Amino acid sequence: MSQRRIVLTGADGTVGSGVQTRLSASGWTVTTIGHRAGLADLLADFRSEDSLRSAMSAVGGALDGMVFAHGMLEPGPVDRVTPAAWRQMMAVNLDSIYTMIHYALPQLRPGASIVVVSSTAAFDHSPVGGPHYTAGKWALNGLVRHLAFDLGPRGIRINSVCPGTVEGPMARALLSEADYMESLKGIPLGRAAEASEIAEVVAFLLDAKSGYVTGANLPVSGGYR
């Protein structure tokens, strides 16, 4: 099989590094886009359309997939989330993904697969993140549903994985140790995911073996919704 090329964001994060390890081990050529110099192949300001467009054009050549594993988390409640904070969250967690897909379209080969890392917040609400986090994740799942229709005729698939809790700094950032341990009791499997368990599902959704799966927002959450 010829080299399969993919663009990955969030590669220095918990989920993204798990995805990079898993895909590299399977022979994917992974080009990373990040917002910190030295930590990614291509640098971009994720709040800037121009910057993301430049990064996508610098990727060059045909692509077989995209995985969006970046994201920020901030707490609520509504009276503490300013409209400016709302816009910042939407820019990073939602708008950047639409922008990168939009500018990648000429590069995506028929058969390509896009995977968005969303959240179980998109099935109800985030118990730790604020309203802007929840709303952004709902919008991502809606985007997946819509783009399945737009991209299906081109032979391009798009799905999301929706983790509940993944062991790592984001999951613990806004909770005390005691509250974190308590929150795990609400998960049917009684524990957080390892990043490798999310990465395994991402790898499946990128592979041709999942060739009839598109428009799915798939919980990978130990049963938590």
Ligand X SMILES: NC(=O)c1ccc[n+]([C@@H]2O[C@H](COP(=O)([O-])OP(=O)(O)OC[C@H]3O[C@@H](n4cnc5c(N)ncnc54)[C@H](OP(=O)(O)O)[C@@H]3O)[C@@H](O)[C@H]2O)c1
CA distance 161 to 33: 20
Catalytically annotated residue among 137, 185, 209, 224: 137
CA distance 198 to 225: 16
Closest CB 44 distance from ligand X, rounded Å: 8
Query: 28 in helix, strand or coil?
Result: strand
- DSSP letters along 126-161, please? -SSS-HHHHHHHHHHHHHHHHHHHHHGGGT-EEEEE
Letters for 69-88 (x = contact with ligand X by CB under 6 A, - = none) are xxxxx---------------
Letters for 116-145 (x = contact with ligand X by CB under 6 A, - = none) are -x-x--------------------------
Q: With respect to ligand X, which residue has the nearer C-beta, 126 or 211?
A: 126
**137 included as an active-site residue:** yes
Q: With respect to ligand X, which residue has the nearer C-beta, 194 or 204?
A: 194
Torsion of CA 126, 182, 180, 97, to 10 degrees: -20
Letters for 166-205 (x = contact with ligand X by CB under 6 A, - = none) are x-xxxx----------------------------------
**224 included as an active-site residue:** no
Q: With respect to ligand X, which residue has the nearer C-beta, 36 or 185?
A: 36
User: Residue 91 gets which letter from DSSP?
Assistant: I
Classify strands 217-220 and 63-68 as parallel, antiparallel or unpaired. Answer: unpaired
Instruction: Order across the sheet with 28-34: list the strands.
Output: 42-43, 28-34, 4-9, 63-68, 108-117, 157-163, 217-220
Q: Are 64 and 111 a contacting pair, CB within 8 Å?
A: yes
Closest CB 157 distance from ligand X, rounded Å: 20
Letters for 4-43 (x = contact with ligand X by CB under 6 A, - = none) are ------x-xxxxx-----------------xxx--x----
Neighbouring-strand partners of residue 29: 5
Q: With respect to ligand X, which residue has the nearer C-beta, 194 or 215?
A: 194
H or E stretch covering 106: none
Amino acid making up residue 21: T
Catalytically annotated residue among 133, 185, 212, 224: 133
CA distance 40 to 116: 18
Q: With respect to ligand X, which residue has the nearer C-beta, 72 or 216?
A: 72
Closest CB 37 distance from ligand X, rounded Å: 10
Q: Which residues bind ligand X (CB under 6 A)?
A: 10, 12-16, 34-36, 39, 46, 69-73, 92, 117, 119, 163, 165-166, 168-171
Active site residues: 133, 137
